[in-house]
């Protein structure tokens, strides 16, 4: 009986500690000036940056489960982050079933705001979670996560983790 309890306790201990040993992948590329960490190997790169297009895209297994696009927006030194979000929101409002969500403050390696919204695509309830991360007075990076509403909600801890680890490369 005691041996069974010991083996059971060891098995539970291994199951609890196993995620701590999971390897995270760090994205870095010579064509972009930022890096970020992906918490799971399920995130697969679908668009690689190049000298002509610095855009990066990842999907979480399948495009409908979650998709990440990283974009850089150049702004004027006196532009407010809320105005940048409003400009992006104006382009989103034409999606079928568009419903704006709330904005939240966000703190990570770069600070900024998060904008949430919902829409309908091919009869499916979809959502978007955009992280607007201010790099300096003239640069904002937007981490655009989209996917089916329930699936994207289930990986929110991962989207937050990716945004928290998003940072600029050190200048040499």
Q: Each residue of 82-100: pLDDT tens digit?
A: 999 999 999 999 999 999 9
pLDDT surpasses 50 at 44: yes
Query: What's the pLDDT band for 21 if we cut at 50, 70, 90?
Result: very low
CB-CB contact of 143 with 88 (8 Å):
no
Cα–Cα dist 98/23, whole Å: 37
Per domain, the residue ranges of the chain are 23-168
Cα–Cα dist 39/22, whole Å: 8
> Does residue 107 sit in helix, strand or coil?
coil
Of 3.40.1000.10, 3.40.50.300, 3.40.630.30, 1.10.3720.10, the CATH number of 23-168 is 3.40.1000.10
Q: What is the mean pLDDT of residues 33-48?
A: 96
The chain-wide mean pLDDT, for the chain, equals 88
pLDDT surpasses 60 at 3: no
DSSP type of residue 53: -
pLDDT surpasses 50 at 31: yes
Which pLDDT score is estimated for 24?
77
> Does residue 111 sit in helix, strand or coil?
coil
Residue whose C-alpha is closest to residue 36's, from 132, 169, 140, 166: 166
CB-CB contact of 39 with 162 (8 Å):
yes
Cα 170 to the center of its chain, rounded Å: 21
Virtual CA dihedral for 57, 63, 68, 74, nearest 10 degrees? 70
Q: Given strand 99-106, what is the order of strands in its sheet?
A: 43-47, 56-60, 62-74, 139-148, 124-136, 112-121, 99-106
Which pLDDT score is estimated for 98?
96
pLDDT digits (tens, 9 = 90+) for 137-167: 999 999 999 999 999 999 999 999 999 999 9
Q: Out of 14-18, 83-87, 132-136, 139-143, which region has the weakest mean confidence (pLDDT)?
A: 14-18
């Amino acid at each position: 009986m005691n041996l069974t309890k010991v083996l059971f306790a060891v098995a539970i201990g291994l199951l609890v500690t196993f995620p701590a040993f999971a390897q995270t992948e760090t994205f870095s590329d010579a064509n972009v000036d930022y890096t970020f960490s992906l918490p799971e190997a399920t995130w697969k790169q679908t668009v690689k940056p190049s000298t002509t297009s610095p855009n990066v895209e990842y999907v979480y297994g399948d495009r409908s489960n979650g998709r990440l696009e990283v974009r850089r927006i150049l702004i004027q030194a006196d532009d407010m982050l809320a105005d940048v979000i409003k400009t992006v929101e104006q382009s989103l409002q034409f999606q079928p079933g568009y419903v704006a969500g709330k904005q939240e403050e966000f703190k990570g390696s770069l600070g900024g705001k998060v904008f949430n919204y919902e829409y309908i695509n091919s009869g499916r309830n979809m959502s978007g979670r955009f992280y607007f991360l201010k790099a300096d007075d003239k640069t904002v990076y937007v981490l655009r996560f989209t996917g089916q509403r329930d699936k994207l909600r289930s990986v929110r801890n991962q989207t937050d983790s990716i945004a928290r680890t998003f940072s600029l490369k050190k200048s040499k």
